[in-house]
């Protein structure tokens, strides 16, 4: 069986999930191949860059660029003419030889799309297409997470995220809100296409059922898989010493992409930190590029350990092993990798009851799920773990058990293999 996966990158949460799945399939003898948008580093013969696979004549590139400029100037919809390579992918030997074509992340943050979603229709005419969603982007006109907005149900526009995150809007739509145009383009492109949709959370699945994807051939929930051999509790004190964390300190770990990301909620994280007591014996270990926090009033008296972006899973696991609890203040998430990785690292997690969080953090059993966005209650939950180390350890051990029973890489592979067989036999519903 040959499975060809399509995604923008193998970095980040969605990319990491695919990389684990890809390697697990290959370990089982499945011919798993990955097409990516980012330039490929390394010498893996199973990972291919889209632009290396599809050679587009210069005349066609110029034609697409002209159309993109025209449509961008007219109504901001230049993205509809991005990536001419997309339309040639179906004719490559790699895709022609595939039994199943599996789509992952097609959008690339503030960058122009690396793959034109309108090309999926032609591929689906010839191959079964499984689309595993990591967020809401496939059925909105712009955003990956709509937050409180419900306009994606019937057409989008005007987009409230233009005011929430104006810097992103400037990257994608310098002249006007095109969310309604892009939503309609998705609706037309996906209408009647028999996608087999996969979701890592029931929360996202239920939203897709009432979206422009409601005509998909099947909807399947498959939880994210974590490598339990990598993410585990190990050498806690040694790792603390390496990072300069005093042995007696209570350690709170967090993963934050940057201080400006509204959804990742650095502002809420800071507000929670500002509520903590006994600050001289508390360390915050922050994975991610949040900048210099010296002089920030909410972090005064706390030890801040900031290793920055950590790309290697083994190193991230080692850093998580220093912690006593994990704090996840995101305003919305589907099934964040860091939630699963912290749980596998025997950490209780404190998060808000948004998105798919409560499916992976069991209130009062593996952590605390707090009403949005009660920073006082979130801080109190963290403080309770500090005051009762036995409770923190019990919830951390329960979190590890939950991961082993529900979210291992091997279980994810088994569930996907079952789906692959159902799709090929025509039994998927």
Average the pLDDT over each of 189-198, 267-276, 289-298, 408-417 and give the range with the smallest value. 289-298
Tokens at residue 146, please?
Answer: 């709509």
pTM, entire model? 0.92
Question: Tokens 């499916």 — which residue?
Answer: 359
Average pLDDT of the segment spanning 297-313: 88
pLDDT surpassing 70 at residue 385: yes
- Residue 357's pLDDT is 96
Q: What pLDDT, on the 0 to 100 scale, is given for residue 2?
A: 97
- Average pLDDT, integer, range 115-119: 95
pLDDT at 295: 81
Cβ neighbours of residue 316 closer than 8 Å, sequence gap 6 or more: 287, 310, 341
Instruction: Using a pLDDT cut of 70, give the percent of the chain over it.
Output: 95
Answer with the residue of higher pLDDT: 105 or 354. 354
Q: Residue 39 gets which letter from DSSP?
A: P
Q: Given a cut of 50, is residue 246 above it in pLDDT?
A: yes
Instruction: Give the angle subtended at the CA of 69 by the CAs of 143 and 76, to the nearest 5°.
Output: 30
The size of the chain, in residues, is: 429
DSSP 348-367: -EEEES-TTHHHHS-BTTTE
- First-to-last C-alpha distance (Å) of the chain: 21
Least confident of 6-20, 76-90, 91-105, 406-420: 6-20
Residue 350 has pLDDT above 70, yes or no: yes
Q: Are the C-beta atoms of 224 and 334 separated by less than 8 Å?
A: no
Span 165-179, pLDDT tens digits: 655 555 454 456 889
Q: Which of 4-8, 254-258, 323-327 has the lowest mean pLDDT?
A: 254-258
What is the tens place of the pLDDT at every residue in 51-73? 999 999 999 999 999 999 998 88
pLDDT value at 308 more than 90: no
Largest CA-CA distance found in the chain, in angstroms, rounded: 68
Ordered structural domains, the chain, with CATH? 2-225+409-425 (3.40.50.2000), 236-406 (3.40.50.2000)
pLDDT of residue 109: 60
């Amino acid at each position: 069986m040959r499975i060809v996966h399509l995604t923008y990158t193998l970095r980040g949460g969605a990319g990491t999930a695919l990389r684990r799945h890809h390697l697990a399939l290959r370990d089982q003898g499945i011919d798993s191949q990955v097409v990516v948008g980012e330039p490929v580093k390394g010498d893996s013969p199973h990972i291919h860059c889209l632009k290396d696979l599809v050679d587009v004549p210069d005349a066609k590139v110029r034609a697409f660029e002209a159309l993109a400029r025209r449509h961008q100037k007219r109504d901001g919809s230049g993205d509809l003419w991005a990536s001419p390579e997309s339309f040639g992918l179906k004719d490559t030997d790699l895709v022609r030889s595939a039994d199943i074509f599996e789509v992952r992340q097609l959008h690339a943050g503030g960058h122009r799309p690396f793959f034109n979603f309108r090309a999926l229709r032609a591929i689906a005419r010839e191959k079964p297409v499984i689309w595993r969603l990591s967020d809401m982007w496939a059925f909105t006109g712009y955003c990956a997470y709509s937050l409180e907005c419900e306009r994606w149900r019937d057409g989008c526009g005007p987009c409230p995220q233009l005011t929430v995150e104006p810097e992103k809007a400037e990257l994608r739509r310098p002249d006007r809100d095109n969310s309604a145009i892009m939503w309609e383009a998705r609706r037309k492109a996906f209408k009647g296409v028999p996608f087999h949709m996969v979701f890592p959370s029931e929360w996202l699945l239920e939203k897709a059922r009432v979206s422009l994807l409601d005509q998909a051939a099947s909807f399947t929930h498959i939880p994210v898989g974590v490598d339990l051999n990598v993410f585990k509790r190990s050498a806690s004190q040694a790792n603390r010493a390496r990072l300069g964390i005093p042995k007696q300190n209570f350690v709170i770990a967090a993963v934050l992409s940057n201080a400006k990301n509204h959804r990742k909620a650095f502002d809420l994280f800071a507000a929670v930190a500002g509520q903590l007591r006994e600050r001289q014996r508390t360390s915050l270990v922050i994975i991610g590029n949040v900048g210099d926090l010296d002089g920030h009033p909410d972090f005064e008296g706390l030890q801040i350990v900031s290793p920055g972006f950590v790309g290697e899973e083994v190193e991230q696991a080692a850093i998580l092993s220093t912690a006593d609890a994990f704090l996840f203040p995101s305003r919305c998430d589907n099934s964040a990798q860091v939630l699963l990785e912290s749980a596998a690292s025997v950490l209780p997690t404190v998060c808000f009851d948004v998105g798919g969080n409560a499916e992976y953090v069991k209130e009062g059993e593996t952590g605390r799920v707090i009403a949005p966005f009660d920073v006082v209650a979130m801080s109190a939950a963290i403080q309770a773990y500090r005051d009762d180390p036995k409770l923190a350890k019990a919830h951390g051990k329960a979190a590890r058990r939950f991961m082993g029973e529900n979210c291992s890489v091997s279980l994810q592979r088994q569930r996907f293999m079952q789906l692959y067989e159902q799709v090929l036999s025509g039994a998927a519903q």
